[in-house]
Amino acid sequence: MSNAFVGLEPALLWKHFEALTSTPRPSKKEEKVVALVRAWAQAKGFVFESDEAGNALVRVPATPGCEAIPALALQGHLDMVAEKNKDKVFDFDTQGLQVVRDGDLLKADGTTLGADNGIGVAMAMALCEEKDLRHGPLELIFTIDEETGLT
């Protein structure tokens, strides 16, 4: 973890949020973040699907004994507003964000942080890895282009 995230709890949440902030994901250019989600889902043994637009669906099986519970959908968008300060030299297409910690706050250095909706995506991913959480089947719906057109 980078220094900005060290010691933050719950650790799973911040691990995933750091991965998202490290991955370029401006609206209309979400290929890298979709690849990140695909790799995570496949590494965990979850089913990954995507549509022709690039929206992603991750199917997470129920924990043992909870198979009869109806599926729960968790939705978030993968893209972020790509804005920077006038004096900041930064390429949202190729660079991950530079996250800094200021007391209890996380901020991006001269750019937007992408917490809308990166933190929601990170929460959904973290929930799927939480060992003590019992749940029925989960469907993680991760859309693209929410910030500029709702593709």
Q: What amino acid occupies position 130? A: E
Burial profile 72-82: b = 16 or more Cβ within 10 angstroms, e = fewer:
eebebbbbbeb
For the annotated catalytic residues, the residue numbers are 79, 146
Q: Which residues contact 53 (CB under 8 A, 6 or more apart)?
A: 144, 145, 151
Number of H helices, E strands in the chain: 3, 6
